Amino acid sequence: MEKIQKIHVDSKPKIGITHGDINGIGYEVIIKALRDHRVTENFTPVVYGHSKIASYHRKSIDAEDFNFQGTKNAESAIPRKPNLINCSDQNVKIELGKASPIAGEMALISLEKATGDLKKGVIDALVTAPINKENIQSEHFDFPGHTEYLAQKFGNTDYMMLMVSHGLRIGVATGHIPLSEVPGAINAELIMKKVRIMNRSLIRDFNIGKPKIAVLGLNPHSGERGLLGAEEEHVLTPAITALFEEGNFVYGPYPADGFFGTDTYTKFDGILAMYHDQGMIPFKTLAFRDGVNFTAGLPVVRTSPAHGTAYDLAGRNLADPEPMRSAIFTALDIIRNRREFDELSKNPLPVTTGEDDHANTSEKRNNNQ
């Protein structure tokens, strides 16, 4: 895996953090992640929340030694301190562990304010605490989740949910749609678009010079040459061949069970699953504790812990802050990698290349599988 040559880009980013569903574990994992001063040494956190709700959660987990610095806006945030913008003065009833309309309303207010600042460029990245996808629905939020909301806000049609944990990166071709609609949504154009998004992101966001990408099959055993389904022969294989001939290192389609059952998944920089659970189940099995949800393809950086509201843990001081820390650190890494990549693009440095790996032959592609 070839690494892009690095340059030094020094800056202390501001990271916006939404508080998510106020009846879940959002505040708990935010407070626990920011409580460690070593976490905030290299950035300035700005939480978009509610001061009274934050105080309630701080007391519920006995974090009396922790305090947010109140700030009117992100521009005046105190460097390397946990800042909080009070997004609402509304009196709010907190019902830990329960889905409520007011919790959805508070989650949306936080998200809208943070997204506005992200668009203005006053924060460098956005980390979103988990929301309840049902109670946040309103005339202002008619989306399956954060990913689709942010894509619409930034006018993007070429985007994808990319789950990240160290060397494991799994994207999903069809995202948040019912399983019954997946086969009809799979076509060569979609697969080629998603692989290109992933390839660009692996290069610019993750500093991988020549990414290797695996495409999973849709059907059991990748269709068994048409016996168990025709999508592999008629859609996936032609798309993979065309992508390889463009110069992308893309291989497959692989049967998902054997791909993850062996160590095959460790040989790739990125993996494209066909539908949500095909990618999420192995990812959360392998990397639940430090998994991160990253929206690839956006002009801005957005990450989120790879877990939900965890109502069953709310208020019990049992939530693990590691996924939130990982989401913050991943955002910081991507900011740095993008700055380095963009700077190098303006002032390219000479690099040594080896033999041309992009031989346009199906024989070479098959031999690498």
Task: Assign 132 a pLDDT band (cuts: 50, 70, 90).
Answer: very high
Mean pLDDT, to the nearest integer, of 327-349?
89
In the chain, list all ranges with CATH 3.40.718.10.
Answer: 1-156+298-349, 159-289
Q: Give the Cβ contact number of residue 149 at 10 Å.
A: 22
Q: Structure tokens of 152? A: 């619409």
- For residue 349, the model assigns a pLDDT of 58
| Angle, vertex CA 170, rays to CA 313 and CA 284, nearest 5 | 25
Q: Structure tokens of 101? A: 């309309």
Question: At 212, phi and psi to the nearest 5?
Answer: -105, 125
Mean pLDDT, to the nearest integer, of 103-124?
97
- For residue 368, the model assigns a pLDDT of 41
- The distance in angstroms from the start CA to the end CA of the chain is 16
Rounded to whole angstroms, the Cα distance separating 136 from 104 reads: 4
For residue range 292-310, list pLDDT tens digits in order.
Answer: 999 999 999 999 999 999 9
CATH of domain 159-289: 3.40.718.10
- For residue 11, the model assigns a pLDDT of 63
For residue range 250-281, list pLDDT tens digits in order.
Answer: 999 999 999 999 989 999 999 999 999 999 99
Please state whether the predicted TM-score (pTM) of the whole model is above 0.85.
Answer: yes
Write out the H or E segment, with its range, that includes residue 200. helix 188-204
Q: What is the three-class DSSP state of 169?
A: strand
Q: Is the pLDDT of residue 98 over 70?
A: yes
Question: At 243, phi and psi to the nearest 5?
Answer: -65, -40
- Above pLDDT 70, what percent of the chain? 91
- For residue 354, the model assigns a pLDDT of 46
Q: Is the pLDDT of residue 311 over 70?
A: yes
> Do 45 and 83 form a contact (C-beta atoms < 8 A)?
yes
Architecture of domain 1-156+298-349: 3-Layer(aba) Sandwich (3.40)
Rounded to whole angstroms, the Cα distance separating 21 from 104 reads: 6
> Do 26 and 67 form a contact (C-beta atoms < 8 A)?
no
Task: Assign 366 a pLDDT band (cuts: 50, 70, 90).
Answer: very low
> Do 166 and 303 form a contact (C-beta atoms < 8 A)?
no
Task: Assign 38 a pLDDT band (cuts: 50, 70, 90).
Answer: confident
Mean pLDDT, to the nearest integer, of 338-353?
75
